[in-house]
């Protein structure tokens, strides 16, 4: 196969030879060690032969009375001949591709999906300062993540999350506003109740009357902070309980983890590049930060029907390869870490895994199954609406409904 490709690429030419006693000319070529790749007799005085380009000058020196005309070129010399004769077209295509690259990687609009004109103005200014604005180049996946984190960190009291999506030559920006304290103040009268069964570990209450103390066990739906403010067993007022309650909760996780593990997954990062393909080699243009492993999708722009060369617009998706051959000790450790990671993905600020214990271990031929008990500190705050208690009695200043721990 390799020799065949080498033969295809080697420079050759096809020539037409005319003259008397044409067979004598053929013998003369052979006696001078000129290899005839192919020969076609047209008449007694005319033939068409294919020879290597390097022998052409020698053939001309031997032609004497014979008339020789070049019919066609093959291999690399054909490619060079086409390049020279079409250089202006090739230059134009190359410049067009460079222009296409710049156009397809440039931002022409940034749309923020919102009804809040004030937040829209804030986000436009922030995005512009961070390089996301009209007529700038697109950012890669890593840069977008950094920009999102910077905005969320700066406006943590205003934004729950933000998404920056690239569609064609524009960015679509979406976000979720965070519920503020002012909004909480306008909420209806309510109790704070337990979201799930737990042991209370911390009370951070700004409004309401605490009826369950730290280290108390509560069931789901049980009142922890009452919206009824009472004095001497009499309800004096009704308020909207506000604050957060943290408690120790419990999870039972079953996981099976294999001894041998292989995964080739896409990280979510991708980019588009121009690639020249020649034989089994790829020459990427303007790609200065290449992915080590990737999946590719090719869109062919130009392909030569004679030579193994093509020009493509390639979508590259970064991949990461994980190969593991674990011992039992490593397997158990990785299974625990994997379970902890998946559990931690669901946790919010101030929530964390307190402890864990392996309850059961099942040894399989190719894997281990673990039953793991997790103790987790979570925000167990939930709300229960209540009706306002009406009482004409004024509340004494000593029985204020506001308290802090």
Mean pLDDT, range 92-111, rounded to an integer: 81
Predicted local distance difference test score (pLDDT) of residue 283: 87
pLDDT tens readout for residues 18-68: 988 888 888 888 888 898 989 999 888 899 999 998 888 888 888 888 899
Predicted local distance difference test score (pLDDT) of residue 404: 34
Separation CA 313–CA 101 (nearest Å): 10
pLDDT tens readout for residues 339-352: 999 999 888 888 99
Q: What is the dihedral of CA 68, 74, 80, 84, to 10 degrees?
A: 60
Predicted local distance difference test score (pLDDT) of residue 392: 41
Check: CB of residue 151 under 8 Å from CB of residue 163. Answer: no
Predicted local distance difference test score (pLDDT) of residue 339: 92
Mean pLDDT, range 342-368, rounded to an integer: 91
pLDDT tens readout for residues 368-405: 999 999 999 999 999 998 865 444 433 333 333 333 33
The whole-chain average pLDDT of the chain stands at 85
**pLDDT higher for 141 or 183?**
141
Predicted local distance difference test score (pLDDT) of residue 186: 47
What is the DSSP track for 334-380?
HHHHHHHHHHHTT--TT-EEEEEEEEEEEE-SSEEEEEEEEEEEEE-
Of the pLDDT bands very low, low, confident and very high (cuts 50, 70, 90), residue 165 is: confident
Separation CA 369–CA 191 (nearest Å): 42
Mean pLDDT, range 101-109, rounded to an integer: 81
Separation CA 166–CA 189 (nearest Å): 43
Nearest-Å Rg of the Cα atoms of the chain is: 39
Beta bridge partners of 373: 252, 357
Predicted local distance difference test score (pLDDT) of residue 44: 84
pLDDT tens readout for residues 214-272: 999 999 999 999 999 988 888 888 899 999 999 999 999 999 989 888 888 888 888 88
Predicted local distance difference test score (pLDDT) of residue 387: 66
Mean pLDDT, range 195-207, rounded to an integer: 95
pLDDT above 80 for 170: yes
Domains and CATH numbers, the chain: 2-82 (3.30.2130.10), 109-177 (3.10.20), 188-259+326-405 (no CATH), 271-321 (no CATH)
């Amino acid at each position: 196969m390799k020799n065949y490709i080498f033969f295809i690429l080697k420079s050759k030419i096809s020539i037409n030879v005319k003259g008397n006693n044409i067979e004598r000319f053929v013998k003369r070529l052979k006696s001078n060690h000129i290899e005839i790749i192919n020969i076609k007799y047209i008449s007694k005085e005319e033939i068409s032969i294919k020879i290597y380009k390097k022998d052409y000058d020698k053939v001309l020196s031997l032609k004497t009375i014979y008339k020789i005309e070049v019919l066609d070129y093959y291999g690399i010399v054909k490619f060079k001949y086409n390049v020279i004769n079409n250089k202006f077209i090739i230059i134009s295509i190359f410049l067009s591709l460079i222009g296409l690259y710049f156009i397809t990687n440039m931002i022409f609009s940034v749309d923020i999906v919102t009804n809040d004109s004030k937040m829209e103005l804030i986000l436009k200014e922030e995005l512009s300062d961070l390089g996301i604005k009209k007529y700038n180049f697109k950012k890669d996946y890593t840069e977008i993540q950094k920009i999102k984190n910077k905005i969320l960190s700066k406006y943590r009291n205003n934004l729950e999350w933000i998404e920056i999506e690239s569609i064609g030559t524009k960015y679509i920006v979406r976000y979720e506003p965070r519920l503020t304290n002012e909004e909480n103040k306008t909420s209806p009268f309510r109790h704070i109740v337990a979201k799930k069964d737990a042991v209370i570990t911390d009370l951070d209450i700004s409004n309401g009357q605490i009826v369950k103390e730290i280290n108390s066990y509560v069931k789901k739906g049980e009142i922890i902070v009452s919206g009824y403010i009472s004095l001497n067993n009499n309800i004096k007022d009704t308020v909207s309980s506000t604050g957060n309650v943290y408690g120790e909760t419990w999870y039972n996780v079953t996981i099976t983890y294999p001894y041998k593990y292989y995964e080739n997954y896409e990280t979510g990062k991708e980019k588009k590049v121009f690639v020249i393909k020649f034989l089994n080699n790829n020459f990427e243009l303007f790609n200065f930060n290449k992915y080590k492993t990737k999946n590719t999708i090719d869109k062919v722009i130009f392909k030569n029907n004679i030579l193994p060369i093509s020009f493509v617009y390639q979508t590259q998706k970064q991949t990461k390869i994980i190969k593991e051959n674990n011992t039992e000790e490593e397997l158990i450790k990785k299974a625990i870490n994997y379970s902890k990671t998946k559990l931690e993905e669901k946790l919010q600020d101030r929530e964390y895994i307190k402890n864990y214990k392996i309850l059961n271990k099942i040894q399989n031929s190719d894997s281990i199954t673990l039953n793991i008990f997790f103790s987790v500190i979570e925000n167990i705050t939930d709300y229960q609406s209540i009706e306002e208690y009406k009482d004409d009695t004024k509340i004494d200043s000593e029985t204020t409904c506001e308290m802090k721990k």
